[in-house]
Amino acid sequence: MINTIAKLGVFNVWANETLLRRLDSSVAAGHEEPKAALRIFSHVINAQAIWIARLTGTASPLKVWQEHDLAGLHHWHEQTSQKFADLCATTDEAELTRHIQYTNSQGDAFDSQVSDILTHCVVHASYHR
């Protein structure tokens, strides 16, 4: 399980960087920043930051539907994507089975296993990308 989670973390960084490069190329070619794509990718990056905060017991710097321009997405990708991959790579079996309690953006309380959270983050991002 550890190796699979670590690979998912690496994949997530690659996928985020690939999307950012495509957005950069589009803007460099003279197109406007695609607002719908920026909005949904903002959500992906925000969710990543929120889950990192929940896993590490810290406050998230971002809200779930906070919107960013392309420069902001680059910034928050740099702040969160590798950190998420590092969590995936360094989490041992004991940590993977640990449960955390958290409250979602609507105020509902949940209890989830770390392995499920890490998997969910990558699946969620892949769905939206």
pLDDT digits (tens, 9 = 90+) for 67-92: 999 999 999 999 999 999 999 999 99
Structural domains for the chain: 2-128 (1.20.120)
CA distance 19 to 6: 20
- Kindly report the pTM of this predicted structure: 0.94
Does the pLDDT of residue 2 top 90, yes or no?
no
Q: What is the pLDDT of residue 79?
A: 98
H or E element: which one contains 46?
helix 35-56
The answer to whether 112 and 96 have CB atoms below 8 angstroms apart is no
